[in-house]
Amino acid sequence: MLQDIEHHLACPHCAGPLALDGRTLRCPAGHSFDQARQGYVSLLAAGTHTGTGDTADMVAARTDFLAAGHYLPIAEALADAAAALAPEQAADGGLVVDLGAGTGYYLAHVLGRLDGAAGAALDISKYALRRAARAHPRIGAVVCDAWRPLPLLDGCADLVLNVFAPRNGPEIRRILAPGGRLAVVAPTTRHLRELVAALGLLSVDEEKERRIDDKLGPFLTPLERTETEFTLRLSHRDAAAVVGMGPNAWHTDPTGLAAAIAALPEPVEVTGSVRLSVYG
């Protein structure tokens, strides 16, 4: 709930601390932000464009796909890492920030392993955060732009999660507490390779790991990496959902995609492959 994270939030206009007054967040300078009835609050800076956020259709596809358990190995690997990485205070009253949280699926799994920690789900899509606000009782959902100053106070986060999402190195460094860690989950070149070949989807850059390190390098140091690889058995509907829930949704023709999926065997076996990198 928003009450669990209010003392970590910062005003997007003046960077002052925010506090709840009923269902409204207020800062000492008088700026105020009303909580939506769906449970999230928008702390977008003035002039922010939200057109890059996940649409309602993308969020529905992701919700169905994740609910079926297809990416459970990723969620479990991240939760295991979080339990091993999180400082003692993160398991008892600390803060876990999920930057690009989407529906809160991964954050909810992590909080399930960190009793007492609160979770801040940050995303630019209000459609996703309507789900995230209900994904776990200790999640507070905040609409914001990952590329702008995050509406969080300095040094408030014991652990930052970043799963298939944008990474703002200087802001992550700013919000991390001393000894805090960043856990990044990114696809390897093998991720969904069968669908990439059959459906003409966007492929993963072979230099992705290096590019992530280069962008984060001035602010954070890579500490360890692990890979999780598994086999998905997808129905045609599942295959359409995994395409529709990510960046391929912006780059595929629906009619041509439907025909290509119909030509696949059912179920179709697909490789899931991600790399979990820890930075500090």
**What is the model's pLDDT at position 99?**
97
Distance CA 23, CA 254 (A): 41
- CATH superfamily for 2-279 is Vaccinia Virus protein VP39 (3.40.50.150)
pLDDT tens sequence across 199-210: 887 778 888 889
What is the average pLDDT across 92-107?
93
Q: For residue 67, what are its two tokens?
A: 């609910």
Per-residue pLDDT band at 253 (split at 50, 70, 90): confident
Peptide bond into 267 cis (omega under 30): yes
Average pLDDT, the chain: 92
What's the Cα-to-Cα distance from 198 to each of 119, 239, 253, 257, 264, rounded to whole Å? 38, 11, 14, 10, 8
148 to each of 48, 112, 140, 143, 186, how far by Cα in Å? Answer: 9, 29, 19, 12, 21
pLDDT tens-digit series, residues 2-24: 889 999 999 999 999 999 999 99
**C-alpha distance from residue 40 to each of 34, 43, 158 (Å):** 9, 10, 22
Strand order in the sheet with 19-21: 19-21, 24-26, 32-34
